[in-house]
Structure 1
């Protein structure tokens, strides 16, 4: 399966298993979603289990919160992460706080799925990476898969979780993982291939990072699309780097991070979002607090530019393998 097929399979499994699960959002029903992630689900499970909504993100999330408090497990799709902000007050003031405010009488077991990140020439309003904003909100969980197997297992885990989960899906990975390289002239990522994904139910636990590559010289922390970019950057160097795929940034597998950085003594943090105020700053602080006496070089951040999303220059804006390789050489120059 590619990632779209894996996500579709996860939704299909949960609709089949649990009558309390339902899916709704803009164009997710008859049309099957703008990226086809819900293709065929309405036909298989009916109009009351997978249905379309008006273009009203605040209403979509508000309805999901009410359904969750009632006892259902709604999966709401926001068509692009850029359009989630009309629902931000519902997520921050209602979903994230409901369990605490009600003294445990109500909670919001909702999953909000959304395509995120750039790479499809979507411009400024279809390409942003707002994960750091959601990571800051206590009470929300934020998940970002990097491959089809994880996408399915993480989505099932998110739907079964009793807390609200923001599930961000990297658009560049939808049709298959890539080798982290692109042709700047045409903007096409290469190396697409599918992955082995079981048909039935399985879980990838939230808050458990994966070691994608073992190494001894430096630790790279990444998630989503940037996992593949990191692999390409490592391949272009002669440096024995360890690559950690965080998979979820809240909850964060800090133990896996500390083990790796304590071993390597060096750390590079890689994400697509703008550098200033990005989640990489939080990761750098956590690494410094816990691994200071193990560090042999300053912590490096490789990220997007500190600008509004530059549609005309998006392939320069993205951290690519060359920037990863340069960071690897900087942090290991005293080896």
Structure 2
């Protein structure tokens, strides 16, 4: 996924002279703490790829000014937990500009945000923020789970006339977490685009077991795809996995179709469940698919704690994992 991100930004900078890429530590040879912009500053110069101060309000807010003069900014917030100082600009400036100007001043910006818990990052480097972002009208939110999707969604986000926040799970960047090997894919060529708002079936159920009513669907995104894949090995052929890929706009047609296929659904997230996007989606499914459901819509997320623990054992205990998902699926299928 890091390679796909690097190559996509490289393609965009080469193809679009108005494109810029900036953020904390992305300039120079290092190219960010995750190396996803390595050598780009050397290749394109420090007027197009450059470092910023540790000032998220500036990083986010400046994209409105860049858009006003015809530049298309791609910026990076170093970790999801640090986006909060930039939230005022995201809500008050970027998200409202197109609507308040009757479409005459859309802000075209792509805000990349490494997200999620991995390897003991602790309370300031491990958070999940999608539910907060999803209540902001006027922005789009995408969340790729593999390298090909990273490339296709990133280019689509750059080309979109709206502000787009791209959440990238840092535990998937190099597929070092056991069970995430499928995040490595053959990389599509330059120009590859995945339309925003299109979910994908990451794993299909066995047709014969589906016909016998022995299956369910897991609706998820990001790391949840791989928790579900690993868990499903204990239930061979019984689990479809729907990867949302874009959280706003949401491909609710694909969600409804999957739920109606199986009659049983689990919504899986890395966030705590209380007041979350996952709970909202589960409630919507129960309302629109009630007659097709054979069981309540199950949900699974992290423990309802204020932050991710620094200790890796405590981190592991509070997060979902494949065993917790398998237990939930076993209960759901036995309903």
User: TM-score, normalising length from structure 2?
Assistant: 0.93
User: Paired residue for 1:187?
Assistant: none
What is the rounded CA distance, in whole Å, between the counterparts of 2:269 and 2:51 in structure 1? Answer: 33
What is the rounded CA distance, in whole Å, between the counterparts of 2:6 and 2:181 in structure 1? Answer: 22
User: Paired residue for 1:161?
Assistant: 160
What is the rounded CA distance, in whole Å, between the counterparts of 1:191 and 1:36 in structure 2? Answer: 20
Map 1:1-335 to 2 at 5 A: 3-30=1-28, 31-176=30-175, 179-180=178-179, 191=181, 194-215=184-205, 216=210, 217-238=215-236, 240-308=238-306, 309-312=308-311, 313-334=314-335
What is the rounded CA distance, in whole Å, between the counterparts of 2:73 and 2:131 in structure 1? Answer: 24
Q: Is the 8 A contact 1:236 1:321 kept in 2?
A: no
Q: CA deviation at 1:289?
A: 2.0
Q: Is the 8 A contact 2:140 2:163 kept in 1?
A: yes
Q: Is the 8 A contact 1:222 1:246 kept in 2?
A: yes
What is the rounded CA distance, in whole Å, between the counterparts of 1:88 and 1:195 in structure 2? Answer: 33
Q: Is the 8 A contact 1:178 1:193 kept in 2?
A: no
What is the rounded CA distance, in whole Å, between the counterparts of 1:159 and 1:277 in structure 2? Answer: 30
What is the rounded CA distance, in whole Å, between the counterparts of 1:86 and 1:199 in structure 2? Answer: 36
What is the rounded CA distance, in whole Å, between the counterparts of 1:304 and 1:125 in structure 2? Answer: 16
Q: Is the 8 A contact 1:9 1:199 kept in 2?
A: no
Q: Is the 8 A contact 2:266 2:299 kept in 1?
A: yes
What is the rounded CA distance, in whole Å, between the counterparts of 2:309 and 2:264 in structure 1? Answer: 31
Q: Is the 8 A contact 2:146 2:184 kept in 1?
A: no
Structure 1 segments of 4 or more deviating over 6 A?
none
What do the CA deviations read for 1:300-334 (whole angstroms, capped 9, x no partner)? 11100100222221111221111111111111114
- How many matched pairs? 323
Unaligned runs of 5+ in 2: none
What do the CA deviations read for 1:166-191 (whole angstroms, capped 9, x no partner)? 101100000137553xxxxxxxxx75
Aligned residue for 2:83, secondary structure, equals: helix
Unaligned runs of 5+ in 1: 181-189
Q: CA deviation at 1:52?
A: 0.6
What is the rounded CA distance, in whole Å, between the counterparts of 1:125 and 1:256 in structure 2? Answer: 34
What do the CA deviations read for 1:252-273 (whole angstroms, capped 9, x no partner)? 0000000010110011011111
Residue 213 to residue 70, structure 1, CA distance change in 2 (3 Å)? same
Q: Is the 8 A contact 1:221 1:246 kept in 2?
A: yes
Q: Is the 8 A contact 2:157 2:164 kept in 1?
A: yes
Q: CA deviation at 1:242?
A: 1.0
Q: Is the 8 A contact 1:223 1:271 kept in 2?
A: yes
Residue 311 to residue 277, structure 1, CA distance change in 2 (3 Å)? farther
Aligned residue for 1:311, secondary structure, equals: coil
Q: CA deviation at 1:193?
A: 7.2
For the aligned residues, what is the CA RMSD?
1.4
User: TM-score, normalising length from structure 1?
Assistant: 0.93
